[in-house]
Amino acid sequence: MNLAAKDIQHNFGRFALTTLGVGMLLMVVMGMGGIYRGIVEDATILVDRVGADLWIVQRNTKGPFAEVSRVQPNLVHRVLAVPGVQASREFAYYTIQRENRGKQLRIAVLGLSWPTDKGEWVTLIAGRLLTQNHFEMIVDESLGIHLGETIKLGKETYTAVGITKGMLSLNGDGLAFVTLPDALAIQFDTPGESIRLERAAREGRGEVSELVLKQPTLLDQAAKPSGDLPAIARPQLSAVLVTLASGTDLDQVVNIISGWGDVSVYTKEGQRQLLLKGMVEKVRRQIGLFRVLLTVIAAIIMALILYTMTLDKIHSIALLKLIGAPNRVILGLIMQQALVLGVLGYCIAYTIGQKVFPMFPRRVILTQTDLLQLAGIVLLISVVSSLLGIWKAMNVSPNEALA
C-alpha cells in the first residue's frame, strides 16, 4: 500500500488546487524564459536570414538596428571594387506608425535591393515575392494586413502581395518588405505645405545671395522641386550588405573596408553581438532576475505547502512511529508527495502554457533545452522543499498518537 497515494486520495480536492496553483506559478517561470528566447529571436532574425557576410554602416555607429546609420548610395559600387567581394546590396530599415482601418499600426519597414534581392530569404505562408520595383509589399501576418489589401504610406498606395510569419523587429513590430526606392520614398516623404515653405525659404535666401545678384536666372532654380536640383544628394541608405566569394579571407576584406574614413564594418556575428549585448542585454538581466525570484518563491511556497500538509498528518505520523514503522516509510510519504506535486505542477504549466503563450503580444519560444533545465530545477525544488516537512516529521514523538 502506498501511503502517499492514499493521503492524496483522502485530501484530493485540496491537493488538486495546490497543484494547480504551483503549476500556474511554474507557467510564469516557463513563460519568462520563453519571452527572452522570443526577444533574442526577434532581434537576430534579420541578421540570420538576410544572408550577408558583412554589414557596412556609418562610421562610429552601431547601425543599422542598434542605432541610426546613414551611408551614401554610391558605397554599393565602391565596395564591389574590393577584392573578394562577390555582391553588395543596398539596405534601408526604420520604423513608422500609421493608422489603418481606424487602428494604430506600427510597421518596421525594410527596403530590399530589388531586383538583386526580391525577398527570396523571406518564408511566405501566402502570396508571392516582389515582382516589380514599386507599390508592392510583403507583410508579416501580425500586422493584420490581408493578402491583396492596400495601404497608403506617404503619397502612394501599396498592395500586400505576400504574407510571412514570425518576421518581427526587436520591439515586436511586424516587418513590411518593400523595394528600396519605395522604402526611401516612404521614409523621406514630405507634406506638400512643407515643400512649399522650403521653396519660399530658398527664394528668400537667393534674393540676398551675391551669386544670384550676379546671375539672376539662378533664382528660377529655387522654385523647382528638391529632387530636380543637381546639388541635392540622393537619400542615404541605412547600410550596405556584402556577400563574399567562396574562399575569400574575411579578415582581409574587413581590414580593407575598415581603413575607409566614412564607414564601419561588422561581420554577421559582430552584428549579432551588437544586438545581444546592447539592446537585449538589459532585458535579459531583468527577465533573468524575475526568473530567479519566481523560482525562489515557488520553492518557498512548495516548502510551506508540504510543511502544512505534514502538520495535518502529525497524529498519523506519530501513530506510524508508535506501531514501529521505520523512518524511511515516513520519509517516502513526504518525498513522494513533493515529487508528485512538482511533476504534476510542471505538466500543468506546460499544458496551459501551450494554449496561453500564443496569445501573448510578444513571441514566446520554448526550447527543448530550457524545458529540460526547468524540469531539473522543479525536481530539485521538490526535493529541497520536502526537507522542511521531513524535519518536522522526524521530530514527531510517538507519544503524540496517545494524546
H or E stretch covering 297: helix 281-312
Calculate the alpha carbon distances from 91 to 55, 64, 180, 184, 244 in Å.
Answer: 10, 9, 7, 10, 17
Mean pLDDT of 368-377: 90
pLDDT of residue 313: 72
Pairing of the two strands 156-164 and 124-127: antiparallel
pLDDT higher than 70, residue 177: yes
pLDDT of residue 276: 84
pLDDT of residue 286: 86
Which tops the pLDDT comparison, 369 or 213? 369
Distance CA 223, CA 196 (A): 9
pLDDT higher than 70, residue 101: yes
Half-sphere exposure of 50 toward its Cβ, with a 13 Å CA cutoff? 31
SS (H, E, C) 180-220: HHHHHHHHCCCCHHHHHHHHHHHHHHHHCCHHHHHCHHHHH
Mean pLDDT of 37-57: 88
Among residues of the chain, what percentage have pLDDT more than 90? 28
pLDDT of residue 4: 62
pLDDT of residue 126: 93
pLDDT bracket for residue 401 (50, 70, 90) = low
pLDDT higher than 80, residue 158: yes
pLDDT of residue 234: 63
pLDDT of residue 125: 93
Which tops the pLDDT comparison, 353 or 10? 353
The mean-pLDDT minimum among 33-42, 134-143, 312-321 falls in: 312-321
The mean-pLDDT minimum among 53-57, 78-82, 99-103, 128-132 falls in: 99-103
Query: Among positive and negative, which fits the CA dihedral 49, 54, 58, 59?
Result: positive
pLDDT bracket for residue 229 (50, 70, 90) = low
Domain boundaries, the chain: 3-43+281-402, 47-267
pLDDT of residue 399: 63
pLDDT higher than 60, residue 233: no
Report CA Rg, the chain.
Answer: 32
pLDDT higher than 70, residue 175: yes
pLDDT of residue 180: 92
Which set of grid coordinates corresponds to residue 204? 528668400
pLDDT bracket for residue 350 (50, 70, 90) = very high
pLDDT of residue 163: 95
pLDDT of residue 296: 84
In tens, the pLDDT along 107-151 reads: 999 999 888 888 888 989 999 999 999 999 999 999 989 999 999
Which set of grid coordinates corresponds to residue 313? 498528518
> With contact defined as beta carbons under 8 Å apart, do 275 and 44 qualify?
yes
Mean pLDDT of 226-241: 69
Query: Average per-residue pLDDT in the chain?
Result: 83
Q: b/e string for 187-203 if b means 16 or more Cβ within 10 A? A: beeeeeeeeeeeeeebe
pLDDT higher than 60, residue 230: no
pLDDT of residue 352: 93
In tens, the pLDDT along 256-270 reads: 999 998 899 999 999
Which tops the pLDDT comparison, 321 or 240? 240
Which tops the pLDDT comparison, 321 or 141? 141
